[in-house]
Structure 1
Amino acid sequence: MTEIVENVRNDIEKGQLIKGNEKVLVAFSGGPDSTALLHILRCLSEDMKFQLGACYINHKIRPRAVRKEISFCSDFCHHLNIPFFVAEADIPAFARESRLSLEQAGREFRYLILKRIADEDGYDKIALGHHRDDIVETILFRLFRGTGPQGLLGIKPSKDKIIRPLHNLSRAQIEKYLKKNKLPSMLDSTNRQSEYSRNYLRNKIIPLIEKKFGIGFRRALLTYAAIVSDEDRLLKGVAVQIISEISTTTPGGKIVVDLKPFGTYDRALRRRVIKLILETAAGKTGFGDFDDVERVLGVADGTLKAIHVGSGITVARDKGKMVIFGRKIALAKRELEVGKKTAVPEISSEVRSRLILPKKSRLKTQKKGQVVNLDFEKIILPLILRKIEPGDRFSPLGMTGTRKIGDFLTDRKAGKYIRDEIPVVADQKGIIWLVGYQIAERCKLDNKTRKVLEIEIRRTKHAGKNQV
């Protein structure tokens, strides 16, 4: 076993990139990196007891070259006794539809198709041929485009199903391995075309840096990235703890931040907290650039009232809170059948109604309750659960007249950005329960009550303190 193969084996074992009896799908273009990767993994597969498959992705950008590459890859895999797949996609069309560059569209589709094949054919891991020089290029690329500490982490050795067993090898080591083992490979002509951003870095910028500062600049950059990585992990842990203490998630998925404790933290930590919250709200790692975070800080300190930050995310300030949310909740109208449960997925809840004996009911005033008891004989069925409508009025418990629900909620300091999550229950005469707040006076229990209707709303998914 050569030194390079042994080094890769050590990295695989140290990072637990591949475990025994796993199936590994290799992204195989026939280029030097993926050829070396496939050959090295084949050398290790029997001893480490894992299985291999290889997939070539035809981007339909270079039709003439593709035929030669597929033939080469097929023959190479046949020689190594490795199953071989070809996946095709019209990347130029995908780029136009997605409004992405060819480079970005190809990268995104590559991950999508590899994950799909892995899922369909039972592969546990997807191996990519990224190496140390790719990590350097990625760090420089992100620096030039604009990035925070996360962007300096480069390419991780593993993430979910994706693994990069060659991450500690240089391009020179890979070329040396191919030459020593007399392994042919295909050269993608587009790699020499410097109009692509990454190619421009590789072909133009990095040679200039290397000429001026020497080959040691790569190690210096990777060392700096490692330091930033450790510090980023520490600060992220602090930010996650802060989020769990100062924010909650509503049943409808809105994130609500208490601005009083939030304002006591250093600005650097506040940026971290906001960045993590934006990523959570959008469901995208890396979502929210520096300008977005600064604008959110403007909402927090009161210089801005409400902003949009892309991906349908709104950030607004209201009553000492900052609310981060996507689209408004559209509560559907649904009938509540007595004795049955009714799902309300829009707010991750279910409503249950049942008849109970008067002696088991609650005769005292019920405020802020998730369970209420009503006089069944004062209700005219059917019961309807719906959203609050403009102009809705009801008679709160203890009042003889009616009040607008909007005014009632304002008096109780209910934030305007969460009111779309507050349902009402109505019978044929009107609202009998403003859910979570108050029942109607006309349906209250008294000494003449013979039948009691109990209505309860329960959360079916966690809502409360945030755990990012």
Structure 2
Amino acid sequence: MRLIERVRRYVAQHALWTVDTRVVAAVSGGADSVALFCLLQQLAARGDCHLAGLAHLHHHIRGEAADGDAAWCRELAARAGVPAVIGEADVPALARRDGVSLEVAGREARQQFYTDAQATLNASRVAVAHTRDDQAETVLLRLVRGAGPLGLSGMAPRRDHLVRPLLDLPRAELRSYLAEIGVTWREDATNDDCAIPRNLIRHEVLPRLRLLNAQADAALARTADILRTDAVFLDGLANEAATRLVSIAAGPPMRVTIEAGELAKLPLALRRRVALQALETANPSRSYGLDEAQLLCETAAGGVGGSFAGLDMERFGAAVVLVSRKASRAPRVPGSDSFELLLEIPGAVEAPHGRWTVSASGPMPRHEAHAETGQVMVDALTLSPGLLVRPRRPGDRLQPLGAPGRKKVQDVFVDRKIPRDDRDREPIVTDEMGRIVWVAGQVLAAPFRVTPLTTTVVMLTIRRR
């Protein structure tokens, strides 16, 4: 099968975009990202998407070579007749400021830049050029750091607006493709520096593993796919269990109560996941790990309690109670920004302050539905008969479409640059059981997504004023 057809199949398989989607190509100038840009040009020419433009970030790491990369990318976009967004970030300064590696600082700078470029080019997706080789490297890096199934699931085909259409393709095939169409690329000398952990994996570890299995890269990527599927399933079960076993009392201080006896009855894999959800609900400002989850599980089984960063834990009768030690904002006083609106299907509700209208249309056959800006399609069979529209609440989390694990609604707002003063007015659509379906206009929850088996959908729409 031709390379372009494999990309088309992968895009369809993972619902990365539709024919009307405006896609930005993130291009460093290296072979993988240049191949991505060329493939997106082909896809756009065939009507599979709209190529909104090219985005390139100057990291200020490689001096004149980096200047040359930026100029080369600008010229590449000009030859293709699409706009280029060229950004700059002083990554070494950011790394020093935050006390992190250049790799971490660079990744965070790129994420922010991609969000800006997406807005500048009026696009809904940013495509990055991670390959199957990159996936194998990621799995090995996380393996030696002691990651669990979620970490070992590697990179997802889609995370919010970020898509990876080349994740199933080997790097060597992309270079062959560029040679075939006569397109050159830029080389980054830092990719040969084995002091960087990823490069050590790439140049020394993977070649040795290929002596044991010539298809080691594909095997590691397949393992990541299997673990990601399992993690999504287990997270769904844990979400259902947490809905039954975990309750929240707004503070200050915030108190999260877990039914100890019922938690102890769960299989260990679910028990730990529910424990992590409870911990991160009680203190959304940080993430917790296996050790903290295990301590909570032991307390539920009869332990005396303990403390974590930002939290105290005690056993009260048949419950484990987590109490935040961090001063928190007082609960909102009901008023113009406090609302809980019943959204019937079909039906519509309007914000008390008049800033938006959220509507649900359908159910309708899948083939008749088409989502536009401000709309999402939801599998009708996953929904309860009625929906609720409300503002955010302490501890709100969801599993974003295309991303493993759960994410705080607070982090969604930060990533999407929702002004702090507007966040309590943003509508969140839930089902009757309280599960978040859609952070309206921002993120759809994965359990409600449309799949190849979906036959009937509901269309959710937000219109702002």
Matched, 1:19 2:3: no
Matching residue's letter, 1:165? P
Matching residue's letter, 1:131? T
TM-score, length basis structure 1: 0.67
Matching residue's letter, 1:38? F
User: Higher Cα Rg: structure 1 or 2?
Assistant: 1
Residues 210 and 216, structure 2, Cα contact 8 Å, conserved in 1: yes
Give the alignment partner of residue 315 of structure 2, picking from 302, 314, 317.
317
Give the alignment of 1:96-245 within 5 angstroms: 96-211=96-211, 213-245=212-244
Map of 2:399 onto structure 1: none
Per-residue CA shift, 1:76-113, capped at 9, x if unaligned?
A: 11111121111111111111111111111111111112
> Quick one: distance in 1 between partners of 2:160 and 2:280?
18
Partner SS, residue 60 of structure 2: coil
Check 1:231–1:16 CA distance in 2 against 1; reply closer, same or farther (3 A cut): closer
Partner SS, residue 122 of structure 1: coil
Partner SS, residue 191 of structure 2: helix
In structure 1, list runs of 5 or more residues that go unmatched. Answer: 331-344, 353-459
Per-residue CA shift, 1:7-27, capped at 9, x if unaligned?
A: 112222232212233221221
> Quick one: distance in 1 between partners of 2:120 and 2:220?
39
> Quick one: distance in 2 between partners of 1:346 and 1:162?
35
Map of 2:276 onto structure 1: 275
Residues 243 and 466, structure 1, Cα contact 8 Å, conserved in 2: no
Map of 1:63 onto structure 2: 63
> Quick one: distance in 1 between partners of 2:307 and 2:143?
27
Partner SS, residue 54 of structure 1: strand
Matching residue's letter, 2:316? D
Partner SS, residue 123 of structure 2: coil
Matching residue's letter, 1:17? L
Matching residue's letter, 1:346? A
The number of residue pairs the alignment matches comes to: 341
Check 1:349–1:302 CA distance in 2 against 1; reply closer, same or farther (3 A cut): farther
- TM-align CA RMSD: 2.7
Choose 273-282 or 179-188, whichever is displaced more. Answer: 273-282
> Quick one: distance in 2 between partners of 1:313 and 1:25?
42
Partner SS, residue 48 of structure 1: coil
> Quick one: distance in 1 between partners of 2:25 and 2:314?
46
Per-residue CA shift, 1:347-401, capped at 9, x if unaligned?
A: 244399xxxxxxxxxxxxxxxxxxxxxxxxxxxxxxxxxxxxxxxxxxxxxxxxx
> Quick one: distance in 2 between partners of 1:83 and 1:351?
45
> Quick one: distance in 2 between partners of 1:180 and 1:77?
20
Residues 91 and 102, structure 2, Cα contact 8 Å, conserved in 1: yes
Partner SS, residue 220 of structure 1: helix
Identity %: 28
Give the Å deviation of 1:328. 4.3
Map of 2:341 onto structure 1: none
> Quick one: distance in 1 between partners of 2:17 and 2:192?
33
> Quick one: distance in 2 between partners of 1:171 and 1:278?
40
Check 1:349–1:314 CA distance in 2 against 1; reply closer, same or farther (3 A cut): farther
Residues 8 and 166, structure 1, Cα contact 8 Å, conserved in 2: yes
Matching residue's letter, 2:144? F
Matching residue's letter, 1:233? V
Check 1:227–1:23 CA distance in 2 against 1; reply closer, same or farther (3 A cut): closer
Residues 60 and 89, structure 1, Cα contact 8 Å, conserved in 2: yes
Give the Å deviation of 1:263. 1.9
Give the Å deviation of 1:257. 0.8
Give the Å deviation of 1:136. 0.8
Matching residue's letter, 2:321? V
Give the Å deviation of 1:467. 4.5
Residues 138 and 154, structure 1, Cα contact 8 Å, conserved in 2: yes
Choose 291-300 or 275-284, whichever is displaced more. Answer: 275-284
Give the Å deviation of 1:219. 2.8
Map of 1:290 onto structure 2: 290
Check 1:326–1:102 CA distance in 2 against 1; reply closer, same or farther (3 A cut): farther
> Quick one: distance in 2 between partners of 1:37 and 1:271?
39
In structure 2, list runs of 5 or more residues that go unmatched. Answer: 337-426, 437-465
Partner SS, residue 105 of structure 1: helix
TM-score, length basis structure 2: 0.68
Give the Å deviation of 1:146. 1.2
Residues 25 and 40, structure 2, Cα contact 8 Å, conserved in 1: no
> Quick one: distance in 2 between partners of 1:5 and 1:270?
44
Partner SS, residue 265 of structure 2: coil
